[in-house]
Structure 1
């Protein structure tokens, strides 16, 4: 039953996406546009990732593939509806073993018909995404001058339409909310005894050593011009720290690092090392960095516990470690243990981020946060190495036949570009690459 139902849902979402393009300013082109699943190359999901999804999400292999395809189409549909609903938009999420139920929230009952016509379930809520995000931003600012040891995690929870603060003491939540001048009606308190911490002394997908001492893991290989290297967690090392590979051969140097505040860094390697578009050797291919929506499956590779999967619970979360608060991380239900930090989070073939920290373990379960990859790429001017990508130093198609779109640029949802004399708006955050020109990928761009 699940096989037939998920195929039908995927087909319905693809059809709905085409209708939305036609109804919201899209135009037909001579060559057929790629579907979301084709754009994000969900069929390229590697065996190790599919096996982990089977184990952790209770799926068989066909169901795992169908879930990834459904999530790709749901993300594109949600992006189009975000654009169509404008200020009324209040978030979107997928549910079900096959991610076959996309829900889109709005504050305006008049939007319900439009949402349902796109193949999604509609729900009307009191607070827009903008209102909740603004409230979280105020808490982020207040946390810089406030003791958040008893309130280590906070995030916008889209399904409950609230700003959640996890806390060991409710009085600490009241003090934080008051200091941030946030309306208490927006806040939902979740009692939690968790004490998140960075996962130091780690190996991840490929181990490396910092200053011949502590261990961390390579997140994703990248390039910057002709320079090769990799993205990793900021808590692993500081700018100027040297690294050696798992074989103790000289490897490179940390070029930049931020922690706390964020948990991002990148290492430039010497000529003995070559950046490749793989995680854990050649078994997992990376095709891009399109951000997965809330509720999507996500898997992590780490040298301590191997492959483990779960779901994206919240985007743009904040978490307090003993060293300080970091913001903009993604909260997941994936387990992790010391030795997994800095490693790769991936959804299908799309790179998501690098392991930051969390609580629990892979015996009893737990929560793990990852630093999203796109901000690392954007902040440091890095290009993710992808399968089918250009050689290091080749910037790719600069936007011919004319326009502002450019391969290698990180685009956020809502960004606008021109290409071929037309204007397009970005539907899902991603780093552009050759082959993903706006007319070719309606999962990522909509003509306006």
Structure 2
């Protein structure tokens, strides 16, 4: 299969077909195009063209297209559709996707849309999902699943599974519940096929099954599914009743969103933004950390101003100031990045103290090696061993302190329930620049006896 490639020629062709209202050619052109690729095309159209195309194509395709669109594009399209038209799209979606879309609608038309959904059971499930916090397993799950009762026999179980499977896009697991809908375990398809028709499900099901609570954070669900290589995981309420399931495609979205957020925070962007957002939104996201960097630079300038006399006697110290600041920032970012990654993957075990000792020993080893190289270079270049020694010893101290700050800060934030990703990037770089320059000049002053 040839990968889809969006071109200006294709977009222009579709725009011309829309303008001339050649519906048959449009349907023929997009008939075999995957819904995710159709969404990519629609993202390039204007509001009226996008709405025209959504209303033209069959709902079984456009419903999936809506889930793949950029949020602002989807919002504009839904704003041009009637409650009945929106309801028609939602009926083709799984309940989790339908709930996500309806949750974006203005509150005044939500009830109208729900009342237009003809499948009342589907509408009931969507309303049920809307009760959950979007940042929870309940807000992430879908109601579509296959479940059987432990009191059934194999023959009755197979019959019921056939009926349930009609409403499930992909059957990952068969869950077993008791008469109170309490999750008991899972059913192996192999065991089901090899068992006698009269055998009871309670005699053949597997009692061990991984599950998550409706209030669990999506990031924790992602860790569990990743650790145990699960394609789907059941969701239970506070008393253990099976209320839904989360599939791997939803978790991939969670992982991607979390990675995007952490990457932006590490780059000094304080809120979730995209390249297409307005200049004002991008400015609000970037400016806070830039202001921090500005004050950090001003603080470093003030510190350097306190050592003017030393500069007059040892101008060479000024030449190495950018190197010291850069090494402090780099080491701090490296240390914090490793810790943040470890926290995200749940790989960091043990006490903060043991982790700090390890990172500081690592920083010390790196510092000694780098300082030895710098000592040799400076001594050969300027021929002043004492000055070269002062700069090199300062570098060791700066690297050790930077490693400590880069390690301690994300661990401390994590313990306090704050996203440790904030500790990478400008925060660590700015703080280490200030501490690095201060340590540099203080050690140099002591060694040189100024």
Relative to the length of structure 2, the TM-score reads 0.22
Q: Larger Cα Rg: Structure 1 or Structure 2?
A: 2
Relative to the length of structure 1, the TM-score reads 0.22
Structure with greater helix percent: 2
Higher relative contact order (CA 8 A, sep 6+): 1
Structure with greater strand percent: 1
